[in-house]
Structure 1
Amino acid sequence: MSDRFLTGKTALITGSTSGIGAAYATALAGAGANVVINGFGDAAAIAAQCAALADASGAGATYSDADLTDVAATERMVAAAADAFGGIDILINNAGTQHVAPVDEFPVAKWDLILALNLSSVFHTTRLALPYMKSKGWGRLIATASAHSKAASPYKSAYVAAKHGLAGFQKSVALEVAQRGITANVISPGYVWTALVEGQIPDTMKARGLTRDQVINDVLLEKQPTKQFVTPEQVAALGLFLCRDEAAGITGANLSVDGGWTAQ
């Protein structure tokens, strides 16, 4: 298996300026892919990230600042990515957001945002990218879900609903394209130490009346028998494998990288 097995292919990765998404981008660029990253962040840091990705791939790396809750912006992002590199071969939907609150106190605007970004944006990027994959008879659709696509936690009703929906969506797409050389899978990490996880600690402290250390040890890592956070690189390594021809028989799957959380 060549380390540059993605040479000539193009990957669009949402939510990839940091965390798991950035790890996906690094892994795929290292295998030779053109990479289009998306998200928010410091302009200089993003420019440096693109330069590093292009250097690693020996190919292209571009950035889109599209707000994925804006359908028109999403359409422009996909079209620009395809125009730049002649199509899209790999789509990794990784963008997401979270809010923690009791359901009867859950802000309606936060519910709408979480469903729009974590679920509806996946529909839009997928419907837009699929024609390019169909035209080539090859494609990889990967979505970052969560252990919360298989199990629930209190105070996360919107996130749990979106991730359950995401898993079901990918299954349906997998069946539709099963004979087209395209696979569609979900990767469901447990708790990964990212800005998203760190950002929900204060809300969880408030909702449960706990200290920061109690949230980390008694809420987050309590779920994971390994008692360790999953790393972005571990998630990205699975995503990279799913892009190999050897993974062509894996489709419609929800693959856990959760330190044993959902084995319980």
Structure 2
Amino acid sequence: MSVLSGMTGFGRADGALDGWTWTVEARSVNGRNLEVRFRGPNGFDNLERLAKAAAQARLSRGQVTLGVNARRAEGDAPTLKVNEAVLARYLALANELAEEGATPPSADGLLGLKGVIESDEQVDDAEARAAVEVAMAASVEAALDALKVSREREGAQLRPVIEDFTGRIETLIATAETEAAAQTEAVRERFARRMAELAPDAPGLQERIVLEAAALATKADVREELDRLHAHVASARTLLDQPPAGRKLDFLMQEFMREANTLCSKSATTALTATGLDLKAVIEQLREQVQNVE
């Protein structure tokens, strides 16, 4: 059986290879869909693609932030050098512009131009860099695995809370069934009393009362709403055993509230209306918890 998962969590992993050391941190918060944001070191162009693919393979919802903080040992730091040919071309062009009245170039301005400063990387061959990138990707996967475990811990805490609210809803439905059964007689008595006040001597009064009371009772019949609420409770419990179910539970909360609203609108007694309002309050509390489920 799959494990219920939340959407908030944290995971971390460290790694090292060929003079490089790095730390990967993976964080996530609630989100309607899966959104992955990545920040990594320069020069490892495939790492973002690998990281996002790894996240998509493990997670289905939530806003996920992945960060790879990498550095090289001081002895392996790259050597910087000036490309004199490129600098000469920039300088010649700058001097021509200066003769026409432009501001003469500064040393720091020239050194900041693209291609003037070059880095003689210690890890400069494609095979060595690819090996480091693969090792970083493995650390990303380890951080995501830790994040998933963290989210599953949240899911383990959410489950009993959701089950408790679901049980409270079921109890309120049973109460509503009892109160709804008394609605027909309450409607008949209310209508009979009103008719007796308005037209006590009208011919065929009793027959009219029976017919009108039956029509009003039909309009106030909430058996279908109660049956659907029972079905929704069963669906909620089934979904808890079939994660990831966050989206389906979100939709189910809308259906719960739709039936509760109809129940209140059809209510003909104060007691049933009060139960319907309590039902809506508990459904809203359940909806808030469901929004944390992956």
Shared fold by TM > 0.5?
Answer: no
Q: TM-score, structure 1 length as denominator?
A: 0.20
> Structure 1 or 2: larger helix share?
2
- Higher RCO (Cα < 8 Å, 6 or more apart): 2
Radius of gyration: which is bigger?
2
